[in-house]
Amino acid sequence: MPLDLNAANPFQLQALPGIGKKLAFRIVEDRAKNGRYSALGNLLRVKGITPKKLAAIRMYVVVKP
């Protein structure tokens, strides 16, 4: 089952390919500061998330409203 980016905690995010501890915490911090993600592409606003990294995790994550 894909991981909801709007509900995942840093420990769950670390299970994704290429997402380490620092990046997982950056994702959670970005979500807290800028609001929920409305699309997977919103992850690109997080420092360290590149288009290549987003493509690698795309099949493992979803954005639920």
Q: What is the pLDDT of residue 2?
A: 95
Which CATH number belongs to the domain containing residue 41 in this structure?
1.10.150.320
CB atoms within 10 A of CB 46: 19
Q: What is the pLDDT of residue 4?
A: 97
Q: What is the pLDDT of residue 1?
A: 85
- Taking Cα atoms as reference points, which of 29, 2, 12, 65 lies closest to residue 43? 29
Residue 45 belongs to what domain range? 3-62
User: Could you give the number of structural domains in the chain?
Assistant: 1
Tell me the average confidence (pLDDT) per consecutive run of 10 residues in the chain, 65 residues long.
95 97 98 96 97 97 92
